[in-house]
Structure formats: C-alpha cells, structure tokens
Amino acid sequence: MNFRRNIVENWGAEGEQWLADLPKLIDDMAGEWGLEIDEPQAMTFHWVATVKGGGVLKLGVPDGHLGAEAEALRIFDGRGAVRLRAEDAARGALLIEQAFPGTPVAELDDDAAATAVLVDAAELLHRVPPINCSLPHLRTLRGAFERYDRDGPIPRRMVERAAELFDDLCADAPRETVLHGDLHHGNVLRAERAPWLAIDPSPLIGDPGFDCGAMLYNPDPERHDPALLALVPARIEQLSRLEPVDRVVAWGFVMGVLSELWTVEASGQARSRAIEVAALLEPRLR
C-alpha cells in the first residue's frame, strides 16, 4: 500500500510508530471533536477520512508540517482552497472543510481544460504573504541538491544545472507570494461553495513559478506514459499566464529534478515521470 510505504520511507521508525498508534489517534480525535467517521479517502502521506455532517479529518506524523498547512489555509481563508475548521498541532490533526462532490481535476477528459483550472487556482492562491507569516521560504528546499550522492540514479549534470537554476530563479523572482507548494491534478477538487477548491497545501513563500512544476509531471507521476509526456509543451503555453514561458520551462526542469531527488532520497530509486519531464525540457533551457 503506497500510504504505508510513503510513511515509512519518509519518517522511518517514527513513521512506523505513528502507524502503530494510528487507530487510537483516530478514536481520540473523533471523541474530542465529536466526530463520527464516515469514509476513509485515498491516502498518500496522511490518514484522511470524511466525517458525517460534512468535513474531513486529516492526521499526519506530528513533525510540524501540518502546522504549515493549517497556516496556509488560514491565509487562503476559503478563497480558492478549503477552509480550516480545527487544529491540534501537537498530535498532527486537522479538521477541514469537505469539497463536495470532490471530483479531482485529474478526472477531466480535456487536458487543456484541466490545466486551465489549475492556473485559475494558482491565481487565486498566490497572494502577498501577510505580516508575521511564518511559512518557510522556497530556498529552504535547496538542501536536496546538496545532499545528492553523485553516484545516484539521476545524472549529475542535471542535478548541478537544476541547483544553479533554482538559485537564479529565486534570486530574480519578479514577485514573491504564498505558494500552495503541491498544486496538481489531484489536489484541486470540484466543490459546491466554489467551482473548484484546492486541498493539501505544502506551503512556502517564493516565486509563484514554482507551483508550475507539479502541474507538468502530474497526474499519476509514477505512470510512465508517452502520451502524458507529450502534453507538457501545450501545458507550458497555458502556464505562461502565471510566468513567462522561459521561466515556466526553467521551473519545470528544476522541479522535475527536485521531485525525483526527493523520491531517490526516500526510496533509493528514481521511479517517477518527473525526471522524464526534466529531460524533455533540458534542451529548452536558456
């Protein structure tokens, strides 16, 4: 099951202990917040279930990352994203508005229409960080380039080029905004309060072009399908609403490499389409 694999790969022994304690945590949060668990949802890095009467209970390893998600949802305040209803930071628990019917953008048959929805979502979410915002800056991600073993499965030249571009793109960002951080086809859902609402932010502060990256190697990043790869050039043209094409290409390359670095770091394997997108874009870099 990818959920268990992801937890153990990313949190090791702490993740294994969290999985062992998860049934009790579910019961505790349901009791304290007066929730009746309805139906578990698809899971990647968090345990997620809808609750009767509306709402979503989200539980994750309490290392602070869900605190950043909660802060971002408070900043978004329902504009373009689901609303936060309750938080227990110490136990890694959030109660969130349910996007109903919750159909993801990935299920749209028209890729151009799907990309347009994602661009609309980005334009709603990208806003000036409020005073006293504690979200981390995009530059904090740079360590993944530095930690990479030159004998690993990703060509060293790609890692070095991506690191240089990452620095350049951060340094000459035309503006800095709150970033969703993982804006893709599975994280924008059809809703009633608004046509579409974003979920699951991994928020940062920085160049809004960063959010273009995940839109190029999703959905299903572990699915190696030439037809999906062939959609990338047209998506880039649509994403030029957010940033000039050359910056979209550069961020697409950087994020393709960075995403694969995270995969290698967690699992020891290069297994996603992200690096294929990076290879496709490498000849277009300036």
Q: What is the pLDDT along the chain (286 residues), one digit of tens a residue?
A: 588 988 998 899 999 999 999 999 999 999 999 999 997 887 888 999 999 988 999 999 998 889 999 999 999 999 999 999 999 999 999 999 999 999 999 999 999 999 999 999 999 999 999 999 999 999 999 999 999 987 789 999 999 999 999 999 999 999 999 999 999 999 999 999 999 999 999 999 999 999 999 999 999 888 888 999 999 999 999 999 999 999 999 999 999 999 999 989 877 788 889 999 999 999 999 8
Q: What is the dihedral of CA 9, 15, 17, 20, to 10 degrees?
A: -90
Picking from 61, 49, 54, 89, the residue whose alpha carbon sits closest to that of residue 73 is: 89
Picking from 59, 25, 264, 65, the residue whose alpha carbon sits closest to that of residue 182 is: 65
Residue 70 contacts residue 83 (beta carbons within 8 Å): no
234-281 pLDDT tens trace: 999 999 999 999 999 999 999 999 999 998 987 778 888 999 999 999
Phi, psi of 51 (to 5 degrees): -125, 150
Look at residue 151 in the predicted model and tell me its pLDDT.
Answer: 77
Picking from 126, 162, 181, the residue whose alpha carbon sits closest to that of residue 253 is: 162
Q: Could you tell me the sign of the dihedral formed by the alpha carbons of 150, 256, 80, 104, in that order?
A: negative
Look at residue 269 in the predicted model and tell me its pLDDT.
Answer: 81
Q: How far is CA 266 from the centre of its chain?
A: 16
| Pair type for strands 47-51 and 37-40 | antiparallel
Look at residue 1 in the predicted model and tell me its pLDDT.
Answer: 57
CA 79/CA 49 separation, integer angstroms: 23
Kindly report the pTM of this predicted structure. Answer: 0.92
Beta strand segments in the chain, E:
37-40, 47-51, 56-59, 84-88, 93-96, 177-179, 188-190, 196-198, 204-206
CA 274/CA 282 separation, integer angstroms: 12
Q: For 98, which DSSP code?
A: -
